[in-house]
Homo-oligomer: A and B are copies of this chain.
Amino acid sequence: MLTFVTGNKNKLAEVQAILGDVQQLDVEVHEIQELDPHAIIKHKLDEARHHSKAELIVEDTSLYCDGLKGLPGPFIKWFLKLLGPAGLAKLVIGTGNTRATAKSIVGYSSPSGEIEFFEGRITGTIVEPRGPDKFGWDPIFMPEGFCQTFAEMPQDQKNKISMRRQALDKLKTHLRSR
């Protein structure tokens, strides 16, 4: 069975909703400092491989702000932890360039350790927080073509267009085509 390496129950539920029968592997895997999420995911898959012989998946979401020359990128977790969504929005708005790209990459490792990547991305703008502050940077990201932030949208609308959904759909297509 497909095994999702994560400690995050929300992400697990989202992945199960899209891919069906997926089990969780909640083990400590290190997140290395790299700008390229592929390297971060590969390292996690390699570490998780010590714990399971199953088909493994790892997901990583990055937020690239043009005004910050691509930061926070894969370091988004720490920006949110220290600045909060409002502080991050203030910083980005202060640069005069609020354009941002959210990228989700899913790494899939076959039992023999071969790794493939599936990517989804969505562009938008960083705005002052709007909507419930429940999940990460959702309140400050307004996808292009919409006038609501991710946090303001109904969950099913966000899930239809999200970068994570796109990446998981690509993985799903790949798995079915085998």
Residues of A within 8 A of B (CB): 30-33, 35, 43, 68-71, 73-75, 77-79, 81-83, 87, 91, 94-95
Q: Are A69 and B94 CB-contacts (below 8 A) given A30-B30, A33-B78?
A: no
- CB nearest neighbor in B for A91: B91
- CB nearest neighbor in B for A94: B94
Q: How far is the CA of A148 from the CA of B10 in the complex (A)?
A: 50
**Are B79's CB and A71's CB within 8 A?**
yes
**Are B75's CB and A91's CB within 8 A?**
no
**Are A75's CB and B33's CB within 8 A?**
yes
Q: Are A33 and B31 CB-contacts (below 8 A) given A82-B70, A83-B68, A91-B68?
A: yes
Q: Which residues of B contact A78 (CB under 8 A)?
A: 33, 35, 71, 73, 75
Q: How far is the CA of A113 from the CA of B70 in the complex (A)?
A: 38
**Are A33's CB and B35's CB within 8 A?**
no
Q: Are A82 and B69 CB-contacts (below 8 A) given A32-B33, A33-B77, A43-B30?
A: yes
Query: What's the minimum C-beta distance from A66 to chain B, rounded to whole angstroms?
Result: 11
Q: Are A81 and B35 CB-contacts (below 8 A) given A75-B75, A91-B68, A94-B94?
A: yes
Q: Which residues of B contact A43 (CB under 8 A)?
A: 30
**Are B68's CB and A82's CB within 8 A?**
yes
Query: What's the minimum C-beta distance from A94 to chain B, rounded to whole angstroms?
Result: 5
Q: How far is the CA of A33 from the CA of B30 in the complex (A)?
A: 8
Q: How far is the CA of A39 from the CA of B128 in the complex (A)?
A: 34
